[in-house]
A and B are shown apart, each in its own frame.
Chain A
Amino acid sequence: MSSTTDSTTVAPVRRPNLINNLFPSVVSGIVFGVVAAAVAGVLVNRLTTALSPDGVPNDDAVISAVYTAWVLFFFIGIGAFNGVIKWAFSRREPTYAEELQLAGKDQGLWRYFRYTTDHKVVGMQYLATVFVLFFLGSMGAFSIRLEQSTPGAIYFNPSTYNTIVGMHGILMIASTIIMVSGPFGNFILPIMIGARDMAFPRLNALSYWLLFTAIPIFLSVLLLGGFQTGWTGYAPLADQGLTPGMDAYCFTILVFAISTTIAAVNILTTVIVMRTRGMTWGRLPIFVWGVLLSVILSLTAFPSFIVSQTMVLMDRIFQTSFFLAASGGNNWLYEHLFWFMGHPEVYVIALPAMAVAAEVAAVFTRKPLFGYRLLVGGLVGISVLSVIVWGHHLYTSGSENALTGPFMLDTELISIPTGIFFLVLVGTFWRGQVWVTVPLLFVCGVLVNFVVGGVSGIFLADLPTDEILHGGMFVVAHFHFTLVGAGVFGFFAGIYYWFPKMVGKRLDPALGRLHFWLFEIGFVGTFSALFYAGLQGEPRWSANIAPPFATANTIASLFAIVIAASVFTFIYNVIYSLARGEVATADEWGAKTLEWTVPTPVPLENFEQLPVVTSLPYNYGSPLPESPVAPAADIAGAAIEAPIQPQGEA
C-alpha cells in the first residue's frame, strides 16, 4: 500500500441516488448477462447452422455459448472486473476509503446486492442462498416421496420424475457442500482466527456471485426438458441427446465447481496466513479445523469433477467419445473420475458439520473437548483416507476387480478415525454441565444420526452385503443418515448457535425445539422405512414402486410430512425472529472463541485492535496441563492480552 497517501485524500463519495444504487449491482449484472446471453445464442445459432452440412444448428453449442456469455457479462455488469482493470491500469493503489466502499461501508442493505467484499456480507449472502437452495431441494424431496407413496407412477411422467430426482440430488449436494463453510466459514471463521477479513476479499465476492450465476443456469434445466441421469450424471446416459437440459446441468456443475475451488483457495489461505498472533495451529478452534480440512478435500476433489463434466459436454457438443463404447470410450472412465470426486465430497459435506457439533458441544457442556488433539488427528485421518476409497462405489461395476480387496480395506479403516470423533464428543458430554439449548439438541441429533449412518456404511463397505444392497434404497437411507443426519443437523446446530451473532436477534427456543423434534422424528421414520425397503431389494430412482415395497414407502412418505412440518416451522422461526425476536447480547452463550468478544452487530473491520491469543478456547474448568505453549493467563477463558480499547484511547 502506498504510504504516502494522505488519509484526507479520499475519492469523491458517490451520491446515493437510484442509478448509483442500481449500477453496479446485481440488477445491472442480470441485465448485462441476459442481453449478452441472448445475443450469443442468436450468433452461435446462425454460425453453427451455416457451418453444419445439413443446415441444423448445434443446440448444445448454442446453449454453452449462452451460458458462457451469461456468466461473463453478469460479472461485467456487477462491476467485478472494475477491480481487475484498476489493478492493472490505474495510476495509483486504491485508498482505504475505496476499499471500505467496496466492503459495503455506509451502503445499508444495498451492500447485500452488490459485489461487496466484506466477509460478513458474503456470509449472509451465502446463508440466504443456502436457504433458497435447501428449500427448493426439499420441495423436490417431497415430490419424490409423493410419487413413491403408492405403487405405480401416477403423479409425474417418467421424464419429469427423473428430472426431479436429479434436481433434488444436486440441489441438496450443492447446498450441503456450502451449507456450513459458506455462511459460517465466511462470517464467523475470520473473526474466530482474529482476522479482519478473508485473505482475498474480492475473490470471496467472486465465489459467491459465481454460485449466484449458477442458479439460473440450473433452473433453465427445467425449461430445456430436464435431464435423465440423476445428479451423478452417469455417461453414456448423459451423452444421449434427448434434451438439452443435460448441457445446462453440466454447465451448472462447472460454474459451481469453479466457485467452490476459489472459495477453497480463499479459506485455506486465510487460515494459513491470517491467524492472529498467538493463534498457533494447536490453538485453532475445532470449527476452523473442520472447515480447513473440508476445503483441502474439495480442492483435491473438484478438478476431476470439472474434467469429467467437460468430457460429457465435449461428447455432446463435438461428438467426441470419452464414454461411448462404440468409438472406444468407456463408462468406467466416467465412474472413476466422478467417484474420485464423489467420495471426498461427502466428507466435504460432513466435516464442517461435525466440527460445528464439537464446537457447540464444548460450549453447552462447559467442558474442554475430550481430546482436542485426538479429534484433530481423527479429522485429519478421515480426510486422508477419504481420498483413496472411491473404488467402493465401483465394487459391482466390473471395473478393476482386483482392487476390490484394497478398497475394502481402506474403506473399513475410515471407521477408526470416525470412531475417535464419537469418543471425543461422548466424552465431552460426560459429566459436563449439560445445558440443553436448541443448538445442543441438534448436536445430539448429529451424534445419534451419524452413528446409524456410519454403521450402515459398513454394510456397504463389505462386498458380501454390498452386492445385495448396491443401487438400492439401503444406500439412499445410508447417505441420508450421514449427509442429512450429520450435515444438515450440524448446520442447524450452527445456525441456532450463531444466529444471535450474525443477525443480532435470538431465534425463538420453543419453536427451535419443535423444529428439532419434528425433524428428528420425521427423518428417522422416513429413512428407517427406506432401510427396510432397501434390504428387501427396492432399487433406487424408482417412480414405479413394485408392490412388495409399497408399505415401507407409504410409511416413509407419511413421515416425510413430519419433515415438511419441521421445515416450515424453521422458516417461520427465522422470519418471526427477524421481525420480532429478542435482541441478542454480544456474548450470548458464554463461549470462549473470539467471535463472541466482538460487539453485535459486528463492526466493519471486526476488531479495533487485533487480539493476541494465549490458549485454546476450551479451557473451561481449569487450564489444560500439557500444552507446550505459554500457560493460560486466567481461568476466565482464552485470555486476550490486549483487551478491546474503547475508541479514541491510544
Chain B
Amino acid sequence: MDTSLEHTHELEPHIRVARARAGVLLLIVSDVLAVLAILAAGGYLRALNTEGQYKIAGDYAPSFLSGLLVMIALVLSGLFYFLWERRSRKPGEAGQALFFLLALVLMLVAGVSEALIAAALRYALPIHAYESVQLLVIWYTAVHLLLAAIIGLLLGGRILRSRLAGHEFIAEVVGYWWYYTVVASILLWLFGVYLT
C-alpha cells in the first residue's frame, strides 16, 4: 500500500454520502427555525394587535389566485424531481432528464413569479404589521425558490456533463432541499392566507 500523503486523502464513499446528508439536513433545520420564527412573529403580532393597528381598512394580501398557481407549480416541480430522482438512483441510469428539466423550469418560473408578485404589491406607507408580515413571507419565499432554482441549475450542469454517475447521493441530497423548499413555501403561503 502506498502511504505517500498524496494518496491518503480519499474519503471513503459512505463517509461522503453521510456528510452530504448530514450537511443538508442541518441546513434544513436551521431554515426551519427561521420559518418558525416568522410564523411565531406573525401570530404574535396578530394576537397583540397593538393599538388596534395590526390591520386597518384597505390592507390586503397578495392575490390569492397567483399564490395558488405558484404553489401548484411548486407541487408539480417537487413531483417531477421525485420522479426523476427515483429513476436516477439506480446506478448507471441517467434517469429521465426531461423530468429534471421540468422540475427545474417549474421552480424557476415559480421563483420569478413570486418575486414579481412581491414587486407588484403597492402597499401604502407606513405599512402596518399585517402587511409587513405578508411582505416578509412573500420575499422569503421568493428568495428560497430562486435559491433552489440556482442549486438546480448547478445540478443540471453536472447532469449535462454526465457527472452524476457514482455520485447519486447528490441527487438524493438536493432532493431533500428541494422538497423542503416546496413544503416550506406552501406552509408560509397557507399561513399568509390564514392571517388574512
User: A322-360 CB contact bits vs B (8 Å, 1 = yes)?
Assistant: 101111111011001100100000000000000000000
Q: Does B69 sit within 8 A of A, measured CB to CB?
A: no
Q: Mostly helix, strand, loop or mixed at chain B's interface?
A: helix
Q: Does A648 sit within 8 A of B, measured CB to CB?
A: yes
Q: Establish whether residues A7 and B6, one from each chain, have CB atoms under 8 Å apart when the complex forms.
A: yes
Bound-state CA distance A326–B49 (Å) is: 11
The answer to whether A199 and B10 touch (CB under 8 A), given A307-B38, A328-B50, is no
Can you name the residue of chain A whose Cβ is closest to the Cβ of B153?
A88
Q: Establish whether residues A307 and B45, one from each chain, have CB atoms under 8 Å apart when the complex forms.
A: no
Q: Does B195 sit within 8 A of A, measured CB to CB?
A: no
Having A321-B132, A328-B54, one finds 8 other A-B pairs with CB under 8 Å, namely A93-B163, A268-B26, A311-B132, A314-B135, A321-B129, A322-B45, A328-B49, A608-B8
- B45 touches which of A196, A269, A333 (Cβ 8 Å): A333
The 8 closest A-B pairs by CB, nearest first: A328-B129, A88-B157, A320-B132, A328-B53, A303-B34, A303-B33, A88-B154, A328-B54
Q: Does B91 sit within 8 A of A, measured CB to CB?
A: no
Interface set, chain A 56-98, CB cutoff 8 A to B: 84, 87-93, 96-97
Chain A contacts of B26 at CB under 8 A?
264-265, 268-269, 299
Chain A contacts of B136 at CB under 8 A?
310-311, 314, 320, 322
- B126 touches which of A273, A327, A649 (Cβ 8 Å): A327
| 22 sampled A-B residue pairs with Cβ under 8 A | A7-B7, A84-B154, A88-B155, A96-B9, A196-B8, A264-B30, A268-B22, A268-B26, A269-B26, A273-B15, A274-B15, A274-B19, A299-B26, A300-B29, A324-B126, A325-B53, A326-B53, A327-B126, A330-B45, A603-B5, A609-B3, A647-B3
Chain B contacts of A647 at CB under 8 A?
3-4
Q: Establish whether residues A320 and B37, one from each chain, have CB atoms under 8 Å apart when the complex forms.
A: no
Can you name the residue of chain B whose Cβ is closest to the Cβ of A605?
B5
Q: Does A632 sit within 8 A of B, measured CB to CB?
A: no
- A329 touches which of B23, B50, B154 (Cβ 8 Å): B50
Bound-state CA distance A154–B29 (Å) is: 49
Can you name the residue of chain B whose Cβ is closest to the Cβ of A332?
B48
Q: Establish whether residues A649 and B127, one from each chain, have CB atoms under 8 Å apart when the complex forms.
A: no
Bound-state CA distance A97–B41 (Å) is: 50
Bound-state CA distance A321–B36 (Å) is: 19
Counting chain B residues whose Cβ lies within 8 A of the other chain, the interface size class is 35 or more
Chain A contacts of B6 at CB under 8 A?
7, 96-97, 100
- A307 touches which of B27, B34, B54, B125 (Cβ 8 Å): B34
Q: Does B93 sit within 8 A of A, measured CB to CB?
A: no
Bound-state CA distance A328–B54 (Å) is: 4
The answer to whether A605 and B8 touch (CB under 8 A), given A268-B26, A299-B29, A311-B41, is yes
Q: Establish whether residues A306 and B34, one from each chain, have CB atoms under 8 Å apart when the complex forms.
A: yes
Q: Establish whether residues A314 and B19, one from each chain, have CB atoms under 8 Å apart when the complex forms.
A: no
Q: Establish whether residues B5 and A319, one from each chain, have CB atoms under 8 Å apart when the complex forms.
A: no
Q: Establish whether residues B23 and A200, one from each chain, have CB atoms under 8 Å apart when the complex forms.
A: yes
Interface set, chain A 1-52, CB cutoff 8 A to B: 1-2, 7
User: A82-123 CB contact bits vs B (8 Å, 1 = yes)?
Assistant: 001001111111001101100000000000000000000000
Q: Establish whether residues A303 and B48, one from each chain, have CB atoms under 8 Å apart when the complex forms.
A: no
The answer to whether A337 and B41 touch (CB under 8 A), given A2-B166, A7-B6, A89-B161, is yes
Name B's A-contacting residues (CB within 8 A).
1, 3-11, 15, 18-19, 22-23, 26-27, 29-31, 33-34, 36-38, 40-41, 44-45, 48-56, 125-133, 135-136, 153-158, 160-161, 163, 166
Q: Establish whether residues A99 and B127, one from each chain, have CB atoms under 8 Å apart when the complex forms.
A: no
Chain B contacts of A333 at CB under 8 A?
41, 44-45, 48
Bound-state CA distance A327–B132 (Å) is: 10
Q: Does A157 sit within 8 A of B, measured CB to CB?
A: no
The answer to whether A325 and B155 touch (CB under 8 A), given A647-B3, A647-B4, is no
Chain A contacts of B56 at CB under 8 A?
328
Q: Establish whether residues A265 and B126, one from each chain, have CB atoms under 8 Å apart when the complex forms.
A: no
Q: Does A650 sit within 8 A of B, measured CB to CB?
A: yes
Bound-state CA distance A203–B132 (Å) is: 33
Question: Nearest Cβ distance between residue B97 and chain A, in whole angstroms?
Answer: 15
Chain B contacts of A325 at CB under 8 A?
50-51, 53
Q: Establish whether residues A303 and B30, one from each chain, have CB atoms under 8 Å apart when the complex forms.
A: yes
User: A251-270 CB contact bits vs B (8 Å, 1 = yes)?
Assistant: 00000000001001110110
Bound-state CA distance A338–B45 (Å) is: 15
Question: Nearest Cβ distance between residue A98 and chain B, in whole angstroms?
Answer: 11
Q: Establish whether residues B22 and A650, one from each chain, have CB atoms under 8 Å apart when the complex forms.
A: no
Q: Establish whether residues B3 and A648, one from each chain, have CB atoms under 8 Å apart when the complex forms.
A: yes
Q: Establish whether residues A327 and B129, one from each chain, have CB atoms under 8 Å apart when the complex forms.
A: yes
Chain A contacts of B163 at CB under 8 A?
90-93
Q: Does A489 sit within 8 A of B, measured CB to CB?
A: no
Chain A contacts of B4 at CB under 8 A?
647
Q: Establish whether residues A320 and B135, one from each chain, have CB atoms under 8 Å apart when the complex forms.
A: yes
Q: Establish whether residues B128 and A321, one from each chain, have CB atoms under 8 Å apart when the complex forms.
A: yes
Q: Does A128 sit within 8 A of B, measured CB to CB?
A: no
Question: Nearest Cβ distance between residue A399 and chain B, in whole angstroms?
Answer: 9
Q: Establish whether residues B37 and A303, one from each chain, have CB atoms under 8 Å apart when the complex forms.
A: yes
Q: Establish whether residues B33 and A88, one from each chain, have CB atoms under 8 Å apart when the complex forms.
A: no
Question: Nearest Cβ distance between residue B196 and chain A, in whole angstroms?
Answer: 15
Can you name the residue of chain B whose Cβ is closest to the Cβ of A603?
B5
Chain B contacts of A7 at CB under 8 A?
6-7
Chain A contacts of B133 at CB under 8 A?
322
Question: Nearest Cβ distance between residue B14 and chain A, in whole angstroms?
Answer: 9
Bound-state CA distance A77–B123 (Å) is: 38
Residue picked from B3, B36, B154, most chain A C-beta under 10 Å: B3
Residue picked from B23, B45, B55, B133, most chain A C-beta under 10 Å: B23
Bound-state CA distance A529–B156 (Å) is: 63
Bound-state CA distance A196–B50 (Å) is: 55
